[in-house]
Amino acid sequence: MTRQLGLTMIASILMLFGNTNADETKTFNVSGEWIVGESGTPADHQEMMDTMQTSVVVTRVRADEDSSVNSVLASGSFKDGKVFLEGEIEEPTDVLISVTRGSEEPMTLPAALIPGATTSFALWDKENSFPGVVDQLILVEDFRVAQQSDDKFTITGDLSSMTDQELSLATATIEGVSGNLKVGSVLPNKSNAVLLRNGRFSIEGIVSEPILVNLWIIDEVDVYIASVDLVVESGARIKISPSTTSSSFAPGMFASELLAHSEVKGSMHGKIIESWQNSAEYRESLDEYASAIAFEAQNAKSDLEKAEEQTETEDSDQEATKDPYDVYQKMSAIQNSVLKSIAQNLDEPLTALLAMELGVRTSMAISRELESWNKLAQELDEDLVARRVSPQRDKLERQIRVTTNASTIVAGHAAPDFTLLNLEGEDVALYDDVLNNNEVVLIDFWASWCGPCVEKIPKLKEFHTEYKDKGFEVVFVSIDDTYEDWKTGSDGHKVPGINVADLNGFLGETPVDYGVQWIPTEFLLQSDGEILDRDLTMEELQEFLDDRFGTPTEEETDDPINEDDVL
């Protein structure tokens, strides 16, 4: 009986511990920190944080539109610049962290909660460090994906061994290089940057096929920028570390490259990136590059700093070294040599595709590059070709057409016809609607982001006002990427004449047909469509219009003379 009772008690205790452990694994924690910039004293910062009312809310996010599903999981407020929230969840959960300060609009941050883990974020008050820059909510150390998937990849980094960079406000982010990813992929971007903690970070994502990405480490305060190429795939585990002197930095945005090592044997990353990054020649060049930019940084210091350092060291003479750019070119040559070999090996077409996407094409003749894309199109499956080969091939073919057309769409040739939409969504045909109704037409290719284009608009507006009634018209063709940019730029600069757009950048059908390689680019046409001239300066256009239509002074002298005036 006693033995039975003892066994029962042990079972009860085990069940109790089991339940307690189960409860603990359901608990999530959210930790927040308020980071204030360098402007002002710590006492000022503390007073500001203490007096400003704050609200922090963590809300469950699901695709279900039922508002009851998007429930509040935890809430609280900052105290002494920190906030700590906890609650319970059954499984990894996508959430939205919302922070409101005083009467300001709420700031939001997508995040993932994991049972038994802490999700950390920072309220980064950037205004005090970078006037005019919007404050930011940012994850700290970890970007997690709530979705459970065999296709998940993980990138971890430890830069704590870097000695001459604090990296206290450095962020890590990745951006995709391979385009048109499969549906269901989860790839963090610049809006999902992670703030490093003690030089460490971790980023998760989901991809069902190998893709190329760039990893960036950026510290806006200490002005440090470094990057490295990665190939991520299902189950990838990649570790980022400094090279021997990765912390070196010099004017001109030169920073030593980081190293990326795959912890999965036989990975695509190992086959491609590490194929040159682990070579003795590349490692030697990497050290040489770091020495070169360190030398540049030393030379950039003030004379006073140099004098102080000379008193502290016996050997103050620093040996001259190579230019950083020259060493960088050498490193690029090593990389391209390896990538060319990979790109031409069609026995492994997927690695060849990644090598092409990585940029080996930049060292190829354009005809050779097109040939490589065509060969890949024959080796890869139809879906992959449609998403990642055809767009690159089409882009290259358009670039070839641009080069050809730039030398043939010149004075004496007929201008290509086009029909484009104006801001009101109406079709405007060049020949039928414009040339048929005017004696001379100027086509101006521009974009709202183009400074030289915008500078010309006031003068073209003068010409349009002065000569429109005499048979002169201006057609502005925007190559902006979005309707919003085009409309905002048009309204802001009061674009005159006929305003249409081909919103596909330089590789849109219209700029390609006209061989537009830069903007602004202008074409002067007569009514039958023949090109009279291209790329005129404003002075040349003024002279042409004066010769064609007469100057205002000439118009006055051409008026009939009144006999009374003569007498």
The lowest-confidence range among 19-23, 126-130, 501-505 is 19-23
> Does the pLDDT of residue 314 top 60, yes or no?
no
pLDDT category at 561 given cuts 50, 70, 90 is very low
Q: Is the pLDDT of residue 250 over 80?
A: no
Residues 179-221 have pLDDT tens digits of: 899 988 998 887 789 999 999 999 999 999 999 999 999 988 7
Mean of pLDDT values over 160-173:
86
pLDDT of residue 14: 42
Q: In what order do the strands lie in the sheet with 152-158?
A: 142-143, 200-206, 152-158, 237-241, 259-262
Total Cβ atoms within 10 A of residue 188? 22
Amino acid 565: pLDDT: 35
Q: How far is CA 2 from the centre of its chain?
A: 72
The ranges assigned to domains in the chain are 22-140, 326-408, 419-553
How much of the chain is in helix, strand and coil states, percent to nearest 5?
40, 25, 35
The per-residue b/e assignment along 321-355, b for 16 or more CB within 10 angstroms, e otherwise, is eeebeebbebbeebbbebbbebbeeeeebbbbbbb
CA 178 – CA 89 distance, rounded (Å): 35
What does the pLDDT average to over 86-114? 93
pLDDT of amino acid 47: 66
117 pLDDT more than 60: yes
Residues 365-421 pLDDT 10s? 788 888 899 999 999 999 999 999 999 999 889 989 999 999 999 999 999 999 999
Q: Which amino acid is at 15?
A: M
Query: Cβ of 564: how many Cβ atoms within 10 Å?
Result: 6
What is the pLDDT, as a whole number, of residue 412?
94
Whether the predicted pLDDT of 344 surpasses 70? yes
Going by CATH, does the domain composed of 22-140 fall within 3.90.1150.10? Answer: no
Greatest mean pLDDT among 298-307, 322-331, 427-436 lies in 427-436
Phi and psi (nearest 5°) for 279? Answer: -70, 145
pLDDT at 11: 46
Containing 353, the helix (H) or strand (E) segment is helix 349-358
For residues 214-237, give the mean pLDDT. 90
For residues 389, 391, 392, 398, the Cα torsion angle rounded to the nearest 10 degrees is 140
Q: Quick one: which of 394, 396, 421, 410 has its CA closest to 499? A: 421
pLDDT of residue 46: 67
Strand partners, 435: none
For a pLDDT cut of 90, what percent of the chain falls above it?
A: 59
Report the relative pairing of strands 472-478 and 498-501 from DSSP bridges.
Answer: parallel
Look at 508 and 560; give whichever has higher pLDDT: 508
Q: Is the pLDDT of residue 289 over 80?
A: yes
C-alpha 22/C-alpha 25 separation (Å) is 5
The residues, any chain, with a CB within 8 Å of residue 459's CB and separated by 6 or more, are 538
Greater pLDDT, 252 or 477: 477
pLDDT digits (tens, 9 = 90+) for 492-504: 999 999 999 999 8
Q: What percent of the chain has pLDDT over 70?
A: 82
**For the residues 16-35, what does the mean pLDDT come to?**
71
**Cβ distance 490 to 449 under 8 Å?**
no
pLDDT of residue 68: 45
Beta carbons within 8 Å of 50's beta carbon, 6+ residues apart: 80
Q: What is the length of the chain?
A: 567
Tell me the average pLDDT of the chain: 85
Q: Decide whether 22-140 matches 419-553 in CATH topology.
A: no
Residues sharing a CB contact under 8 Å with residue 451, sequence separation 6 or more, in sequence order: none
pLDDT, greater one: 218 or 7: 218
Are 248 and 256 within 8 A, CB to CB?
Answer: yes
How far apart, in whole angstroms, are the C-alpha atoms of residue 313 and residue 345? 53
Task: State the alpha helices, DSSP H only, in 190-279.
Answer: 268-277
Helices then strands (H, E): number in the chain? 16, 26
Which of the residue ranges 83-97, 289-303, 512-526 would you say has the lowest mean pLDDT?
A: 289-303
Per-residue confidence (pLDDT) for residue 192, from 0 to 100: 83
Give residue 30's pLDDT band: very low, low, confident or very high (50, 70, 90): very high
Q: Tens digit of pLDDT for each residue in 510-533? A: 999 999 999 999 999 999 999 999
Torsion angle of the four alpha carbons 472, 474, 475, 476, in this order, in degrees rounded to the nearest 10: 180
pLDDT at 63: 58
C-alpha to C-alpha distances, 49 to 78, 137, 211, nearest whole angstrom: 8, 16, 43
- The H-or-E segment that residue 197 falls in is none
State how far the Cα of 259 lies from the Cα of 163, in Å rounded to an integer: 17
Among 313-317, 329-333, 404-408, 438-442, which is the least confidently predicted range?
313-317
In this predicted structure, the answer to whether residue 562 has a pLDDT above a threshold of 80 is no
* 419-553: CATH class: alpha beta
Among 220, 186, 216, smallest CA distance to 204 is for 186
- What whole-number distance in Å separates Cα of residue 500 and Cα of residue 391? 25
C-alpha dihedral, 492 to 496 to 502 to 508, nearest 10°:
-100
Helix axis angle for 349-358 and 268-277, nearest 10°, is 50
- Separation CA 198–CA 312 (nearest Å): 30
**56 Cβ partners below 8 Å, 6+ apart?**
30, 32, 75, 76, 77, 78, 83, 85, 97, 98, 99
